[in-house]
Homo-oligomer: A and B are copies of this chain.
Amino acid sequence: MVGIVGFDSDQPEARMSLAQFQSIECADCPIRHRAVCARCDSDELEALDAIKFYRSYEAGQTVIWSGDQMNFVGSVVSGIATLTQTMEDGRTQMVGLLLPSDFVGRPGRDGSAYDVVATTDVVMCCFRKKPFEDLMTRTPHIAHRLLEMTLDELDAAREWMLVLGRKTAREKIASLLSIIARRDASLSVDAASGAVSFDLKLTREAMADYLGLTLETVSRQISALRKSGVIELEGKRHVTVPDMRRLIEEAGDDSDGGVLG
């Protein structure tokens, strides 16, 4: 509920975490191998290093408003952010979930088409747009990696369209949990039982916006999955999946989701 003003957050805490990252070497960066810079050689990395800067956002803060001018692009270094679209009457749909290493912004376009909101505290590695675009024309590895990442996002968006268009509420919840289990780096796996557990970093409302449901339906279906033994809950947000196979089955997917294989 704090600052609504996009960047330049003046809170001392924000500065602290910022300072932490300001001294980081690209070589030591936690997202070095997955972000837009993944394929860069040392020269290219140096060029990026020269124009990069870090920014941090507090949980709840809006990073960019839909329609606003965007003078930077960047990668999520830590934390979670969401891309959402909102209709005039307030109905909102999440259209992207940004985890560490995901890219924000669109080279070649000025305005953002979506609201970008920090769900947890977020640190971003940013580049002013113009220098980044110039660099991109000179360094094919960046352009190539960005194409690859965009194609991956397109695949994810299309998988999500199947979820939104054709799955039941229960399948939707199971799908979301599978996706989080697949992508969240902070999940823990019990070697003996194979049980997977993780923290849900989304509120029931955010999950509802993700899945095209109401928050009440989300709550009911989570309870139902718990009662069926598909998941276990400690508190409201910590989820344990005793058997991933079972969860994936509930999601209606034939593929194994990449976690087990």
Q: How far is the CA of A83 from the CA of B154 in the complex (A)?
A: 13
Is A246 an interface position by the 8 A CB rule? no
Stretch at the interface among A17-25, A90-98, A121-129, A221-229: A90-98
Q: How far is the CA of A89 from the CA of B171 in the complex (A)?
A: 13
Residues of B within 8 A of A254 (CB): 87-88
Is A155 an interface position by the 8 A CB rule? yes
Q: Is the CB of A150 within 8 A of B161?
A: no
- Chain A interfacial residues counted at CB < 8 A: 40
Q: Is the CB of A158 within 8 A of B87?
A: no
Is A160 an interface position by the 8 A CB rule? yes
Is A164 an interface position by the 8 A CB rule? yes
Residues of B within 8 A of A146 (CB): 147
Stretch at the interface among A57-65, A137-145, A177-185, A194-202: A137-145
- One of B137, B158, B160 near A96 (C-beta < 8 A): B158
Residues of A108-159 whose CB lies within 8 A of B: 108-109, 113-114, 137, 140, 143-144, 146-148, 150-151, 153-155, 157-159
Question: Chain A interface mostly helix, strand, loop or mixed?
Answer: helix
Which residue in chain B gives the minimum CB-CB distance to A146?
Answer: B147
Q: Is the CB of A91 within 8 A of B158?
A: no
Residues of A219-256 whose CB lies within 8 A of B: 252, 254
Is A9 an interface position by the 8 A CB rule? no
**Which interface residue of A83, A114, A154 has the most chain B CB atoms within 10 A?**
A154
Q: How far is the CA of A159 from the CA of B160 in the complex (A)?
A: 12
Q: Is the CB of A166 within 8 A of B91?
A: yes
Is A27 an interface position by the 8 A CB rule? no
Q: Is the CB of A158 within 8 A of B114?
A: yes
Q: How far is the CA of A182 from the CA of B147 in the complex (A)?
A: 26
A-B contacts besides A92-B166, A108-B148, A137-B140, 11 pairs, CB < 8 Å? A85-B162, A87-B166, A87-B252, A88-B252, A93-B161, A93-B165, A106-B151, A109-B151, A113-B158, A157-B161, A161-B164
